Amino acid sequence: MVYQSYTGRWEITQDNFGVDILRDFVEAGVLPFIKIMNTSRKSLVAVLRDWRVSPPPDPNFRHNVWQRLHPQIPASWPAYLRGHAVAWMLVTVLTVSAAALTGQAAAKARVRADREQMTVTYLVDLDPRVQAMLKP
Amino acid sequence: MKYLTRTLAVLALIAMAAGFVCYRLNWEPILHAAAAKGDAMEWLRADFHLTETQYAAIQKLHAAYAGSCAEHCRMIQEATKVRNALQATKTADSAAMLAAEKNLQELRTHCETAITRHVREVAALMSPEEGQRYLALVLPKIADFDHHAAPDLKLNRSS
């Protein structure tokens, strides 16, 4: 039971605690409040029944929906590149480096092969041992 | 997807351009032209950056060497024929066989010494760095010709 002690403080006694709490709420006016809510609900239902929404047509509605569904699709190529700048930069550096090294290696291999061929041609002209084998 | 494809296409073009530029920067068209023509003297001039004076001096040296080279060639051929004739004879004297073989080997050794001396003279006419590079290129092959019966020469393509 809730009561105000002689010191002026509100205190709760332990006997019949649940019953006392319920009675206190009822006495405090909860039941009248519920009655008021029931009355208000009836009027709310009436308001919702009569409520009509007519928003203005949005020409970008479909586009905006797709944008929200696929936010990763950029509007333009530069925007796409900007969105993946780091990744593409890395791929570009690696690819161009690999291509440059391949080109350099191919050229060096070609030069080596040419030099090898010319060294042999040169020595064939100089070396009588080889010429003796070549001549009939 | 189309942006990805487009980016990959541009990247491939850039990579091909980079590869081509690096190829052209590193290859030696004069050397390649000399190899295509089979012009050894042109190769010598281009690859070892000979001046006109050096080139003329080396040509003169080669011309002087050509006479002794032809003579060595003839002697080796004759010695080879003698040796082969003895080998073909069933009743050949082993002492004569050994002598023929020894003669052939001496001629080959003499020939190798002569050609080595000649290329050293040629190298001396070049700048020191190019001379060293030239010797490093030709001397191992000269030694290799005798020991391995000219494995690199592709004899069947020679006329």
In this model, does residue B152 exceed pLDDT 50? Answer: no
In this model, does residue B40 exceed pLDDT 80? Answer: yes
For residue B157, the model assigns a pLDDT of 38
For residue B33, give the nearest of A130, A52, A117 by alpha carbon.
A117
Q: Chain A within 8 Å of B45 (Cβ-Cβ)?
A: no
Contact between B11 and A92 using a beta-carbon 8 Å cutoff:
yes
For residue B16, the model assigns a pLDDT of 96
For residue B85, the model assigns a pLDDT of 77
Contact between B19 and A99 using a beta-carbon 8 Å cutoff:
yes
Do residues B11 and A93 make contact, with C-beta atoms less than 8 angstroms apart? no
How far apart (Å, rounded) are the C-alpha atoms in residues B132 and B76? 30
ipTM value for the complex:
0.74
Q: Chain A within 8 Å of B13 (Cβ-Cβ)?
A: no
Angle at CA B33, nearest 5°, toward B29 and B38?
145
pLDDT digits (tens, 9 = 90+) for B103-151: 878 877 888 888 888 899 999 999 999 999 999 998 888 877 754 444 4
Structure tokens given for B133: 């590079």
Do residues A125 and B159 make contact, with C-beta atoms less than 8 angstroms apart? no
Distance from CA of B73 to the nearest CA of A (A): 4
Higher-pLDDT residue of B27 and B69 is B27
For residue A18, the model assigns a pLDDT of 63
Residues whose CB is less than 8 angstroms from the CB of residue B6 and which lie 6 or more positions away in sequence, other chains included: A77
Confidence of residue B154 (pLDDT cuts 50, 70, 90): very low
Task: Give A-chain residues touching B40 at CB under 8 angstroms.
Answer: 118, 121-122, 125
Q: Chain B within 8 Å of A95 (Cβ-Cβ)?
A: yes
Cβ burial of A79 (10 Å; 0-12, 13-18, 19+) is: exposed
Do residues B54 and B121 make contact, with C-beta atoms less than 8 angstroms apart? no
Contact between A114 and B28 using a beta-carbon 8 Å cutoff:
yes
Average pLDDT value for residue range A60-69: 84
Per-domain residue ranges of chain A:
2-50, 76-134
Q: Which of A43-57, B7-21, B77-91 has the highest mean pLDDT?
A: B7-21
How far apart (Å, rounded) are the C-alpha atoms in residues B43 and B41? 5
Contact between B138 and A123 using a beta-carbon 8 Å cutoff:
yes
Largest interatomic CA distance in chain B: 87
Structure tokens given for B42: 């042109």
Q: Chain A within 8 Å of B150 (Cβ-Cβ)?
A: yes
Task: Give A-chain residues touching B24 at CB under 8 angstroms.
Answer: 107
Count the Cβ atoms, other than its own, within 10 Å of residue A86.
Answer: 8
In this model, does residue B4 exceed pLDDT 80? Answer: yes
In this model, does residue B102 exceed pLDDT 90? Answer: no
Task: Give B-chain residues touching A96 at CB under 8 angstroms.
Answer: 14-15, 18
In this model, does residue A19 exceed pLDDT 90? Answer: no
pLDDT digits (tens, 9 = 90+) for B71-85: 777 777 777 777 777
Q: Alpha helices, DSSP H only, in B27-50?
A: 29-37, 40-47
Amino acid occupying residue A89: M
